[in-house]
Each structure stands twice: as C-alpha cells, then as structure tokens.
Structure 1
Amino acid sequence: MIPFPPSAPTPTPFDPASLGVGHDQPRLLLVDDEPRLLLSLYELLQGRGYQLITATNGAEALAHLSKLRFDLVLLDLGLPDIGGHEVMDFINQKGIDADVIVVSGEVGIDAAIGALKRGAYDYLRKPYSREELLKTVGNALKARRLEQANERIAAQLENSEKMYRYLVDSSPDIIYTLNHEGRFTFINERAHQLLGYKRDELIGQHYSILVHEEDLERARYVFNERRVDERASRNVELRLKCHAGNAHDRTFNTTLMTISLNAIGMHVPDQEVRKLEFFGTYGVARDITDRKRAEEVISYQAYHDILTDLPNRILFKDRLGLAVIQAKRKQTELAVMFIDLDRFKLVNDTLGHVKGDELLQQVAGRLKECLRKGDTLARQGGDEFTIVLPELRERDDARAIADNFLESLHRPFDLDGHEVHISASIGIAIYPGHGESIDELLRHADIAMYQVKGQGKNGHAFYDPSMQEVSHQKIALGQALRRALENDELEMYYQPQVDAASGKIVGAEALMRWNHPARGVVSPGEFLPFAEENGLMLPISDWMIGALCRDMLQWKGLCGSQVRLSLNLSPQYLDRGDFFEKMRGALLRYGIAPGQIEVEITENICIRNPQYAIEQLNKLGQLGVSVAIDDFGTGYSSLAYLHRFPVHTIKIDQSFVKEIHDEHDHYPVVLAIISIARGLGLNLIAEGVETEIQARYLRANGCLTMQGYLYYRPMPLPRFMDVLQEHGVQSGDHNVIAFQA
C-alpha cells in the first residue's frame, strides 16, 4: 500500500460485521501499481459516499479480498507480481461476490476480451475521463443494488411459496381449484389423506368423480360457482366418495369463491366497458363427517330411550299422531296400550337399579318380539311402556297381542344368576271409540291399566267409560286423605295376640283405620297405597307415633310400664334421615321409656340398602328400642342378614298360615321359619290364624304366639282396653303389645 498524505483516509481495518449484506456505504478496492495513478483515482472517488481501500500489487489485493467483502474492485491488469487476470480468477474461484471494473493501459483486444470473459462489469482504457469513470462506477453499483434487490425478492418469493404450500398441504381442509370446465387444476395433500386419491389421479379429472351420485345435481351449481360477492355459495353440504377400500363416504361442508380475470373491451364514445371473464373456481371443503354423525346421534337420542333403544314419548306421540291421521283417512281402528310392570319396584329395591335396568332391557326385547311390522313400542319412563297398533281388523287382534305380552313376561328373567318373575298390567284404548285425540287415547289406556292394577294385576282390560268414574273416585280419595290428617279422621285399631297354650293376651297389633265422613271406616289396604304415591306416608307416620304414645299414657295405670309396643315403620319413613330424631323426641315428650318400643320392619328394607338400615337400626338399639321383622319369608331375604341386623322377633306371614289345611300334613316353609327362630333364639308370632287346625299345627310345631280372627278381630282403643281388663292384664305381667300401621 502506498503512503498517502495525512489528509488522505487510510484503508478501513477489517470489521467482521462488514461481511454482512446491506452495509450503508459501498466498499471499493482500488488496485494499481502506479502510485500517482492510484492517488489520482483515490482522490477522484473520495467524498462520494464510498469506503475506499487501496492495493499496489496483486498479493496485497488478494489479501484484502480474503479478509473483507467488497462491492466493486477497480483493477489494473498490469501488476508486477500477480496479473489482473489472475486476480479475477481468484475472485471467481473463491466465489467472491464483487463486481470488477478493469482499468488498464493495454491497447490489445485480447486483454479486454480476457477481462470480459472472466466476468468484468466493464473495461476502461487509460487514460479515462473523469466523467466516464464516475458514470461507470455509478452504473456498476446501481446494477449491483438492483441485482441484490432481485435476489432478496426472489428469496422472499421462494420462502413465501414454500410457506404457502406448507400451509395449504397442512390445512385440515381440502383446498382445490377448478378450471372453467370443472376439472381439477390444483388440489392439496389433504384430499389424499381423507379420500384416498392421489393428486395425480385427480388433476385434470372432472369434479363429478368425487361427488356422491345423490348429490350431483346440487354439486353442478356449487362447483360451477361464478359469483364473487356475498351471494357466492357458502357452507353447502355435499358427500364426497372415498377411494375404493379407503373408507366410507364422507360429508363435506364446501365454501366456494370464484377467480375472475378483468379484460378490457372495445371503447365506445364517453364510455368504458369492463367485462369479467369466468376463469375457474377456488374452493375449500371441510370434512364434517364426524359432526354429522354426532348430530345424527344427538337427533337419535332426542327421540329414543337410551336404556332400551326404544322410541321415547316424544317420538311415540308423533307416530301415534300419524297413525290417527291415517286411521281417520282410511276409516279403520287402531289400539293404544299402556303397560306397567308389576313388582318392578321390588326388583329395584332388592337387587339394585343396575339389575333393574337389565330387566327393563330384557322386557323391551321380549315385547318387541310380540309386535307386528308397523307397530310401535315406546318407553314412557320408569317401568311403563306404550304401544300403538295401527290398522286393526278387529279388537281381538289387540287382545291377542296383549295375551302374547303376558305370556312372554311369564317366563323367568335371569339377572346374573338371580331368577326373577314379574308380570304386567295392560290397559287398552281403541280409536275412535275410546277417543280421537292422542291425549285421550293415552289417558284412557292409562285408566284401563290402573283398573287392572286394582283388580290384582297380571292382566289386560279395554277402557270403559265406567272406569273414568272409578278413576275420579281415586283422585277424590287421595284429596280427602290429605284432609283426613287435618280433620283428625284417622284412628288406631288393635288386634290382640294370644298365647295359644294359656289363652292369655300377650300383645296386640295396631291397624290404622280411616273414619271417612261419607264412606265410613276405610281399611289401610285402600288408602295407604295412595299415601305412598302422594307423599303422605311421612306425615301419617308422624301422626301414628304420636297417637301410639298418647294411647300408652292411658295404659300406664292398666298395664304399668312393662308393656312393650311394636311399631311398624314404612320404608319411606325409615329412609328419611330424621326419623330417629322424630321417634326419640316423641318418646321424650310423652315420657315413654324406649325399652317399651319394638320397631317392626319388612325384610325388604334389610336388603335394598343393608348398610344404611343396619346403621339406623343400631341407633335404635343404642336408644333401647328392639326390632322385629314383619311378613317374614315373603321377600328376597338372606339368612345372613339375620346375623347382621339387631333382630329380636320374626313374624310368620298369613299367606303361609292360610296354606295349613291338615294338622297332620307337612308345610316346609312354616317349619323352616319356626326352625330359624328357634335356632337364632328369636321370638315368633304367627299372623292370620283363623281355624283350630292352623292353631293346633302351629302349637304342635313350636309356635305359641298367634293372632287372627280365631281369637280376636281388630277393635278400637276403648274396646281393646276392656278386653285387657277382662283378661286381668296387670302391671307385673310383662305383656308385649305390638302396634302396626
């Protein structure tokens, strides 16, 4: 490098950051072995916004080119050590991004050709004019800036295209374009993933090869969409076919827009005509197959019972309405049946709701097997089913189907080893004789069903207008029962229990009676079912506890404090969380010792929720109240429960006692219950004893405490107290008096 005057700038030192593209000032390398010419060139370019670095020979130039990045090299060919052509060869071999302007004094054409072959931007011959040099340098740098800008734009376009293709191919939707003939010109990779077709199989093919045959007419308008404004097709649902062996047909929600070209038309005076020429269609197809399936499931579940897969009441009413319209048009009859399962609640309480659901599913299957084609079986809810039988030829057809239902339900049901027997009560209403509207037919079939329930269940009956009056009477009875509590119309009757050996009264069972102002005395078998259905068992049980405690106050002077009263609790009352507090409060209020109370429960209470029942009964035991099981042997009890429950007494149900007709015969159920009581050390009472034969058989086999019409009928409190006095019951006799509602 030649020495320059102090005022001349020195070459810029090596700066790694200067290697980047886009430094503010272009960097120029000036190479010439003539100091005077090099200085002149330097001064000519100085102050024009360039970074200037000089070299006096080829080696020095190569050193600078190896360290720094240059935009332009002004190169003399005739260097003393390494020629200018060799410097250019170095630049090309190393891939150095720098333009070269050759400044040479050689006049031969070969030197210029050699320089241009090596990629020189231009060739200036010494001596050159000032303007020529500046113009050439300016043009070279301008061309370089344009080239670099083009390279950046090209790189951006390439990256943009890569990103676009990535986004298009990664889209969850099928993206495609069609030409004006409806043939695919582009389709993304999603089509292969969803439909199984490769791009090459679809490009050039008509869109119709993908469209389901039933949707072709609608697709003809959608795939040829020509509008570009808000009227363009949006969210049109089409089904597209999948490649053979790939999957089932899928449903697509297709959004379309049109690509149009603007064309310039002929000019007319003072007007310009613009024309849109249809070019093709751009579309996005979204797979909504899963959504459609979910919608179908939701729609199905809205009209079907989830447990049995039968139509629900909404769909049933719709089909019944259509059947009524058709029957009216054809002037034919149809039948509506209302089916209620008998003893289903017992299965739910004893085996649990899971087994109850299994039973309902099996029942639904059996009922469907009895139907004709075109009949509709639906589940109304719980254990209730409804059926519509359209186009009846005669009423005997409905009767025959009802008989088939009862026969199919007569066979036992297997619930994981539990053999269950149930029956059904079926009410039948005929259109148009029993009603012409949906609600009338269902209501009258329901009334007929309750008529069957009231007559012993397990049967069917056609609606009759007289049943309406019975139904109204039942409603009136339920309303009057609510007033009975307010008007103090309930009363306790007592049926004495006797020791069969001595004939003495040893206890009593209390039976609730309703002194109806119009009907007279009503037995509990008539009104307690209404109480259970209408939520009145809890207030009635509260009243019963108070009534018994008040009666006991009257017996203190007659029987003393050693009399034990047995109180029969309703399952609903036992399930209520505060029944224990209710009973303890009543005993405290009336001054009754807990040891005088024995609570009677049915054995089904013990097994529908045994752990809860044990907790509640143990509370009573801690309080001092004893426990008896009523109607023993009629439910689904397990002997294991007798060991777990704090039981003191079991009672033989009257249904077993009634079977005793010969004192010398063998009645295994009665003998088994007696043996259980004896083996567990429990007290034993037989209910419903009406004949001497029954009494002798029971006494001979070890059951000494009995009650029934053979001895006494139920009687009101004053009469019962007279009987106690007649038999000389005194305070020290330790008699047991059992009270049952």
Structure 2
Amino acid sequence: MTAQLELEMLPRLLLVDDEPRLLSSLHELLCERGYTLVTAQSGAEALAHLVAQKFDLVLLDLRLPDMSGHEVMDFINANQIGTDVIVMSGEVGIEAAIGALKRGAYDYLRKPYSREELLKTVTNALQQRRLEVANARIASQLENSEKLYRYLVDSSPDIIYTLDHEGRFTFVNDRAYQLLGFSREDLIGKHYAILIHDEDLERARYVFNERRVDERASRNVELRLKCHNHPGADRTFNNTLMTISLNSIGMHVPDRDVRKLEFFGTYGVARDITERKHAEEVINYQAYHDILTDLPNRMLFKDRLGLAVIQAKRKAAELAVMFIDLDRFKLVNDTLGHVKGDELLQQVAMRLKQCLRRGDTLARQGGDEFTIVLPELRDRTDASAIAEKFLECLHQSFDLDGHEVHISASIGIAVYPVDGETIDELLRHADIAMYQVKALGKNGHAFYHNSMLDVSRQKIALEQSLRKALDNDELEMHYQPQIDVVTGRIIGAEGLMRWNHPQRGLLTAGEFLPFAEENGLMLPISDWMIKALCRDMQIWNAAGGQSIRLSLNLSPQYLDRGDFFEKMRGALVRYGISPAQIEVEITENICIRSPQYAIEQLNKLCELGVSVAIDDFGTGYSSLSYLHRFPIHTIKIDQSFVREIHDEHGHYPVILAIISIARGLGLHLIAEGVETEVQARYLRSHGCVTMQGFLFHVPVSLAAFICVLEEHFAMPDAENNVASLQA
C-alpha cells in the first residue's frame, strides 16, 4: 500500500512525439529521474490519455500525424485540464513559437535540444508546478498560519511587495534579494524609484500608484529593474499590480454601510521575464534577418526601402535600388558542395558591406541574390561608383579551406522616381537590368531602361510560345554529318534541335534552349528529342540506308531525372532501333553534379548498348580522373579550340593534349566546328581523322539528310565523297 502511494506521488508526465526513436530516447532519459511516464505517438492517443488520467506535465511535439500540437493545447485549455506543457519542435518559424506561448506553454524547446536543457526545463516546470500547488494549499490556510504565509511569499519565484500611499516599500519578499541583490533592509522605507531603470520611470509612476481594484487595475506591465552592484545587468519584470485597502487587507468582507474605502497602498507581484524577453528579441531578429549572412532579409529590406522612398519623395530626391546576382556561384555549389557555397555567401556579404556608405542597406534576397538601397543619391554616378566597387571587391579570389575560387557579379540598377515609384516596380526593374547584364556576358552593371522591359516581355512571349511548340509540332531535328577524312565516309551525324517559330522562322537550339533550362522545359523537350531521333532513325533504316550512328546532346537536368534510362530504352524498343546506332553526348560538367549517380546511369546505357561521348571536352572543370571512372567511348574537341588553328604548321598544345589523351585511353575522337582546309589538315596530320563542321556540311533537315546519305553512299570514290560534302 505504501509503495502504491509513493508511486502515485511521483510526477506524472505524458510524452507525445510521432517519431518512435525520439520518443524512446526521451522516455529513457526521463525514466532515470524517477517520473511516472506515459507515451503517445499521435494527437488522438494523447487526448485519450489526458481525458483518462491526470498529468503534471506534457512534453508535446508540434508535428503529429493527425493533428498539430497547437490543437492538443487548444483541447487542454478548452477542457481546463490542469497540466503544464513544454513544447518541443523542429520548426524554425516564429509562428510556431508564438502560437505555443499564446496557448500557455511553459516553455518552447527547439529541436535538437541538449540533454541538460531538457532536464533543467522539466525540473523547473515541475518545481514551478509544485510551488503553485503549494501556494494554493497555503493560501487556503493563510488565515490560520502566519508562518505558512511567510513561507509562501518568500518561496515564490516572483518578487512580492507592498507600497504605502507615497510609493515607499512596506514589504518585499526574499526573491528581491535573490534576483536583484537588494535585501529587505535596503528597500523597506525607500521609494520604488530606487529600483526602476531611468528610462522606465515615467511608466512606473502610473503603475506603482495604481489605486484601482477591479479589472481596470494595471496588469502585465513590463519594466526594467536595476540590479545591486551589477552595472549593465538590468533585468526585465512583468508586474501584475492590484490595489489593497485597509478593509480588505485581512481578507474580510467590508461592512455594507461603508461606501468609500480608504486608500492604503499597493500590492504587487513582479515576475522575472528577462530570459523570455531575450528569446523574443532573438526570434524577432531572426524574423527580419538572414540567418546565414546576418543581413536584413527580404521583409526588412522592403520595409527600409519603403521608408527610403517616403523620405526621397518628401525631399524630392533620388535613390537607387541594386539587384546583384553572383555569376558562377552554382558551379561552386555543385563542385565544392553547399557547405562551401554557404561560406562563399558569407564572405561575399562581408565584402559587399565594406563598400557601403552610412545609411545604405544591403540585404540577401535569397540564394545568391542580394539587394541594396542607396538613399540620398546625388546622381547616377554615385550608384555606378558603388557598383564598380562591388565588382572590384568580388574580383579578388575567395579562399574556401584551401580552394581558390573566383566569381563575379551581374548588377542591375533602378533609380527612383525615374524607373519606378513603388517598391515592387523598383525591384522588378533592377532585376530586369540585372538579367540584361547576364545576357551581355555577365560581370558588369547596367541601369534600367524602358527598352529592357520590351526585351523582357519578348523573353516571356518566347517562353510561352516554347511551351506551345511541343503541342503544335513546331520542333524538328536537323543533322550534321560526321566524316572520316581518311576514307571519306559518313560514319555518323549529330542531331541538333531546331524550332520552326511561326513568326521568327527557324531558330537554332542556342536561341531557345536557355529559356527551356530556366523554366523547367528541358525534361519534356528531351523526351521529345529522344523520340524524334529514334523515329528519324527508323525512317532511314526503313529506306534501306546503311548503318550509321546518330548522336544527341543530353541535358544534365535530364540525366538527373531517375527515369531517363527507361525513356531511352522504351523509345528504342518502340521504334525498333539498335542501341548501337545511338550515341549520347554529355558535357564534362555533368560529372561534377553527382559523379557516382552519373556513373550508375551511364553504365545502364552502356549495358543497353548505347555509347557515350563527352561533348566540348576541355572547356569544363572536371578532373581527368573521371575519364577512367566514366564509361566513355568518344571525346569531342570543342570548336573553340579548333577556331584557334590558323596555321597547319603551327603549334596548338591544347589540341595536341586532347588528341594524346584520347589516343592513350583508346577513345574515339571527333573534332567539332571544322570550317577551313587548314584546320582539317592540321587535325588529320596529328591524328584526329573524324570531323564535323561547315567545311563538310551544315546541319540539314531529315529529308535533306537522307538525300545527302543516298548520294554519298551511291558514290564509290571516297575522295569524291569528301569533295561533294565540302561543296
């Protein structure tokens, strides 16, 4: 019987979390403290326990499978269930914390929390609960026991005090000494102003002279109190005040004949909310600042820009808004990882801040985008000078744990009121100007002009048309032959996409694919390209054509998609195409994004029988070790290197190095963009015998390509074949 009684006296805790491992870990941690523990993995299970049993404390996760933790707290409050709640959540938003505190949560712990933090919070909550229970019990015995009354007051976690009608302390409990360092002897008979922070004296004058006794009395007024012998360590208190009268001090009911109670003094309770205020300040700061760079975020930037616009309008002055986008940041992120990318953003923020004037605001818009407001602009040269300073400071290399990184920036500038009179207009126009810089080669700045808006609208119109191009059957494949210059035979062709635009005519891939990549259209376009290539190959095979190999460029976005291999295999089966007739071209930067995943996907293609070529070799940033790891059959020399060949007896080390690499690894080699006899002779003399380019043939439609092939294979003389193609 005694053991049962002791068990019932142990604090009873309800642990609510839908994550079994976290719940088990929490149970094991608290079990060692001697508590009676009950667990629940859903909101419904928690509500059932709350109805069936009494709990001293609930440890509640906000994310539950069937309802939120806030709804559980609403149930507790609605049914007046006498339990305290500690909220534990991984949510970083301020709304979750505010919602929990508004619903009466004792505390809010953000996951992951430390063992010590949890145990301390649980201990404090249970201790406070015990004190509250003790206070209630002692209050009921107050009339019969002064000793119990004194214990209640001095054991309170709050400062309890009384003032006379002139504002002098007549009583204060021991908590004042524990929190502020002032003893009873220091305060009794002294005016309350001795404790009040100088800046809060005016507000305190109303609070400490409170004479009202009903709901109108001052409640939850926040004041800062001084700490004895601790300069700079002021604490914030929440004061709940009520007026007491001579007739009610003994808790006696006043005589019905008494019409007016004589004012005796003020009774008050002051609760230390310093830690809560600090937590609120942190939450408020984080709500308006970027956690990574500590810069103002988009919300705060718009607020400051709005104030700057009002000020500029009042003074009839100009201001500038800058939109900065980092060039090559995505490459750094893909190459070195997001951690190093975050470090780069932090270093960029520090450099940009050093270029600002007093009163300027730099904010992080998101990702690798920053915005700046330059108030009180004298003229545009001020904004141009600051933009140049930004570009200059970013030109210096960045050190990321031994990795030397170089980036630049594209900066767009909009000026108030010429380029817009509202926040949204200025930001939108600065953004448009930034994209204009991007289009012209990046690494520069430009002021917004109305003509840019027309270009932007044309881009939007082009994007909308491109979305309809697939449905309207406006896309087609053109083919550029690949020639073996030794035999003169066409051994393959590269498939190049073209768009028959209703108004603008035939567009090359470079004129519309960048829009497709930016707007998420590469996946459906790549699906179409695979089907079109196989369909065209089927037409050639059905015409009795000799076996040649067609190649197509594969977007990195498409390779990243998990089902691209199935798409390829399905198209080959559907059109009856031999996998050996297809070659997939990838850029070497595809190796950087996710090397192991890329290897797995390309190995599947090779097992199917499809060959793999690296396009634009030598222009990327991947390690040569990838050539050993990746299932590669062909290397294509980029046309930017071929264009440099002006003398067939000259020395072009990059070309020679690529040829040597291909020969050493036993890989097939193709030179792209061959346009002159000098280039062809130089390449052939040094071992590259497969070429494509305008010297031999321009890309042509399927019908024209079939005619070229029919004529070519009908001519037995190889030299005549080459001559006809060059013609």
TM range (shorter): 0.7 to 0.9
Q: Residue 428 of structure 1 aligns with which residue?
A: 413
> C-alpha distance in 2, partners of 1:730/1:193?
105
**Per-residue Cα deviation, 1:368-388 (whole angstroms, up to 9, x for no partner):** 222111111122222222211
**Contact 1:195–1:246 (Cα < 8 Å) also in 2:** no
In structure 1, the residue corresponding to 2:470 is in which secondary structure? helix
Per-residue CA deviation, residues 192-239 of structure 1 (Å, 9 max, x unaligned), is 332233343333332212211000111112122222221111000001
- 1:242 aligns to what SS in structure 2? coil
1:724 pairs with 705, 709, 722, which one?
709
Q: Return closer, same or farther for 1:233/1:675 CA change in 2, 3 Å cut-off.
A: same
Residue 353 of structure 2 corresponds to residue 365 of structure 1: no
**Contact 1:515–1:522 (Cα < 8 Å) also in 2:** yes
Query: Alpha-carbon deviation of 1:729?
Result: 7.7
Cα shift readout 1:44-100 (whole Å, capped 9, x = no counterpart): xxxxxxxxxxxxxxxxxxxxxxxxxxxxxxxxxxxxxxxxxxxxxxxxxxxxxxxxx
Matching residue of 2:697? 712
CA distance in 2 between partners of 1:631 and 1:159 (Å): 94
Higher relative contact order (CA closer than 8 Å, sequence separation 6+)? 1
Deviates more, 1:298-307 or 1:508-517: 298-307
Given candidates 550, 560, 570, the residue that maps to 1:565 is 550
The answer on 1:184 being equivalent to 2:169 is yes
Q: Tell me, yes or no, if the aligned pair for 1:664 and 1:697 is still in contact at 8 Å.
A: yes
1:581 maps to 2:566: yes
CA contact (8 A) 2:142 2:148 kept: no
- For residue 500 of structure 2, the aligned residue among 501, 511, 515 is 515
Q: Tell me how far 1:476 sits from its aligned partner.
A: 0.8
The Cα of 1:668 is off from its aligned counterpart by 3.4
- The secondary structure found in structure 2 opposite 1:491 is strand
Between the aligned partners of 1:169 and 1:672, the Cα distance in structure 2 is 86
Q: Are 2:220 and 1:235 aligned?
A: yes
Match of 2:600, as an amino acid?
E
Shift of 1:473: 1.1
Counterpart for residue 414 of structure 1 = 399
Secondary structure of 2:290 counterpart:
coil
Mean CA deviation greater in 290-299 or 656-665? 656-665
Displacement of 1:567 in angstroms is: 2.6
Q: Which amino acid letter does the alignment assign opposite residue 359 of structure 1?
A: L
Amino acid of the structure 2 residue aligned with 1:401: I
Residue correspondences, number: 573
**Contact 1:626/1:648 (8 A) holds in 2:** yes
Distance 1:613 1:216 in 2: 69
- Once residues 163 and 228 of structure 1 are traced to their aligned partners in structure 2, the CA distance between those partners, rounded to angstroms, is 26
Deviation readout 1:82-122 (Å, 9 max, x if unpaired)? xxxxxxxxxxxxxxxxxxxxxxxxxxxxxxxxxxxxxxxxx
Query: One-letter code of the match for 1:724?
Result: L
2:194 corresponds, among 201, 206, 209, to: 209
Q: In 2 relative to 1, CA 454–356 (structure 1 residues): closer, same or farther, beyond 3 Å? A: same
1:500 aligns with 2:488: no
1:473 alignment counterpart: 458
Map of 1:218 onto structure 2: 203
In structure 2, the CA distance between the partners of 1:166 and 1:496, relative to structure 1 (3 Å rule), is farther
CA distance in 2, matches of 1:330, 1:408: 32
- TM-score by length of structure 2 reads 0.74
Matched, 1:607 2:611: no
Q: CA RMSD in A?
A: 2.7
Distance 1:717 1:661 in 2: 33
Aligned counterparts of 1:447 and 1:277: Cα–Cα separation in 2: 73
**Partner Cα separation in structure 2 for residue 242 and residue 330 of structure 1:** 46
Indicate the residue corresponding to 1:340 in structure 2.
325
Counterpart Cα distance in 1 of 2:176 and 2:624: 68
After superposition, the C-alpha distances for 1:236-288 in whole angstroms (9 at most, x for unaligned) are: 0001122233762211111112221129xxxxxxx945442232322111111
Change (3 A) 1:610 1:284: same
2:188, 2:627 → 1: CA distance? 81
The residue identity in structure 2 corresponding to 1:668 is P
In 2: Cα distance, 1:282 partner to 1:613 partner? 74
For residues 292-342 of structure 1, the C-alpha deviation after alignment (integer angstroms, 9 at most, x for no partner) is 122222222222222222222222222222212211221111111122222
Conserved? CA contact 1:351–1:608, under 8 Å: no
- How far has the Cα of 1:562 moved from its partner? 4.3
Q: CA 1:212 to 1:662, structure 2 compared with 1: closer, same or farther past 3 Å?
A: farther
> How big is the shift at 1:393?
1.2
Q: Is the 8 A contact 2:496 2:552 kept in 1?
A: no
Change (3 A) 1:161 1:689: farther
1:628–1:224 distance in 2 versus 1, CA, 3 Å = same
Question: Which residue number in structure 1 is paired with residue 129 of structure 2?
Answer: none
Q: Is the 8 A contact 1:497 1:505 kept in 2?
A: yes
| Equivalent-residue separation in structure 2 for 1:615 and 1:729 (angstroms) | 42
Query: Which residue in 2 is equivalent to 1:529?
Result: 514
How far apart, in 2, do the equivalents of 1:541 and 1:505 lie? 26
2: distance between equivalents of 1:352 and 1:283?
57
Question: Residue in 2 aligned with 1:172?
Answer: 157
Deviates more, 1:700-709 or 1:438-447: 700-709
Structure 2 unmatched ranges of 5 or more: 1-140, 249-255, 719-727
Contact 1:671 1:701 in 2 (8 A): yes
Cα-to-partner distance string for 1:548-590 (whole Å, 9 max, x where unaligned): 0111112215676743332321111111121111111111111
Pick aligned residue for 1:445 from 419, 426, 430: 430
| Local SS of the residue matching 1:225 | coil
CA distance in 1, matches of 2:145, 2:695: 105
Q: Which AA in structure 2 matches 1:589?
A: R
**SS of 2:495's equivalent?**
strand
| Distance (whole Å) between structure 2 residues aligned to residue 711 and residue 188 of structure 1 | 99
What TM-score comes out, normalization by structure 1 length? 0.73
Q: For 1:415-468, what per-residue CA distance to the aligned partner results, in whole angstroms no more than 9, with x for missing partners?
A: 222222222222211112222222222222222222222222222211111222
Q: Aligned partners of 1:671, 1:158: CA distance in 2, in Å? A: 103
| Structure 2 residue aligned with 1:555 | 540
Helix, strand or coil at the partner of 2:654:
helix
Is the radius of gyration larger for structure 1 or structure 2? 1
Q: Alpha-carbon deviation of 1:656?
A: 2.6
Counterpart of 2:292 in structure 1 is 307
Secondary structure of 2:500's partner?
A: strand
Supply the distance in 1 between the matched residues of 2:679 and 2:187 (Cα, whole angstroms): 93
Q: After TM superposition, give the deviation of residue 664 of structure 1 in Å.
A: 4.3
Distance (whole Å) between structure 2 residues aligned to residue 209 and residue 700 of structure 1: 97
Q: Residue 591 of structure 2 aligns to which amino acid in structure 1?
A: C
Whole-Å Cα distance in 1 between the matches of residues 614 and 601 of structure 2? 15
**What is the 5 A alignment of 1:357-396?**
357-396=342-381
Equivalent position of 1:488 in the other structure: 473
Counterpart-to-counterpart distance in 2, 1:635 and 1:176: 75
Say if 1:561 and 1:226 are closer, same or farther in 2 by CA, change over 3 A. Answer: farther
Match of 1:122 in 2: none
1:632 aligned partner: 617
Tell me the CA shift for residue 162 of structure 1.
Answer: 4.8
